[in-house]
Amino acid sequence: MICANLQRIRSVIGETAGGCGRDPLEIKLVAVSKYMPAEMIAEAHQCDQVLFGENYLQDAEAKITRLPPALRWHFIGHLQSNKAKTAAELFQMIETVDRLKIAQALNRHAGLLQKKLDVLVQVNVGREPQKSGILPEEAGDLLRAMQPLTNLRVRGLMTMPPYGREPEASRPWFRALKKLSAELAAQEFFYDNTAVELSMGMSGDFKIAIEEGATFIRLGTAIFGERPRQ
């Protein structure tokens, strides 16, 4: 089932990218494996899925240390600064940096590990009080404050838009993130201002996200099926 899902998703990515004149290779699929056992992740890996996303550090640690080192991991959950060490050790990218304190903690631990850590800044485009992410108008100040943190490579922005019944409801939020990223790239706040990453789009709305410029799409249910209730 996981293989069939991945194959179908890859062809939808290809068609959607083609339909809006984008190179499908620009769009990287993050398989969101929260609550999924290592066996299911291994099954996806057998079908050539290498990049996975996890939300919960302890869960992720148990799986990452059991699975082959060839797998690549993005942290997509809420991060506390006392967990920055583990996160910096285990993950190739932290998608959810939304305040200076966490950026500084990650930078320090990346330095101790003698590695450069890729990060995204999470933006709360819908200004929802219950959601993580920095407000759009504060993103510039955060990025400016992160410039001295040379062990971090700020690759771009990530967002989780307000929930909408229809996939189309996400479009204005995705567009807003893209516009913000262009403004910030013009100020040269990113590691590579000519290739800014945008992590947006989930199982319900990833086609819209691709049309609006996503370079990472984060899909859980569409690959692994419904998550077990926790």
- The residue (of 88 and 160) whose beta carbon lies closer to ligand PLP is 160
- The residue (of 29 and 103) whose beta carbon lies closer to ligand PLP is 29
- The residue (of 151 and 161) whose beta carbon lies closer to ligand PLP is 161
Smallest gap from Cβ 150 to ligand PLP, in A, equals 27
DSSP tag of 189: -
Three-state DSSP state, 23 = coil
Residues near ligand PLP (CB under 6 A)? 32, 34, 55, 76, 160, 202-204, 218-222
User: Nearest residue to ligand PLP, using CB?
Assistant: 220
Smallest gap from Cβ 112 to ligand PLP, in A, equals 27
Smallest gap from Cβ 202 to ligand PLP, in A, equals 4
- The residue (of 107 and 170) whose beta carbon lies closer to ligand PLP is 170
Smallest gap from Cβ 85 to ligand PLP, in A, equals 22
Q: How many other C-beta atoms can be found within 10 angstroms of the C-beta atom of residue 18? A: 11
- The residue (of 102 and 151) whose beta carbon lies closer to ligand PLP is 102
How does 106-121 read in b/e, with b if 16+ C-beta sit within 10 Å? bbbbbbeeeeebbbbb
Residue tagged 């494996």 (tokens): 33
Which residues are CB-contacts of 29 (< 8 A; sequence separation ≥ 6)?
Answer: 6, 9, 10, 13, 49, 51, 216, 217, 219
Q: How many other C-beta atoms can be found within 10 angstroms of the C-beta atom of residue 213? A: 21
Distance, in Å, from the CA atom of 47 to the CA atom of 11, rounded to the nearest integer, reads 14
Smallest gap from Cβ 151 to ligand PLP, in A, equals 24
Amino acid at 121: V
Across the strands, what pairs with 54? 75
- The residue (of 111 and 211) whose beta carbon lies closer to ligand PLP is 211
Smallest gap from Cβ 120 to ligand PLP, in A, equals 11
Amino acid at 70: A
Backbone angles phi, psi at 47, to 5 degrees: -100, 30
Smallest gap from Cβ 191 to ligand PLP, in A, equals 22
- The residue (of 30 and 152) whose beta carbon lies closer to ligand PLP is 30
In sequence order, which ranges of 91-157 are alpha helices (DSSP H)? 100-112, 139-146
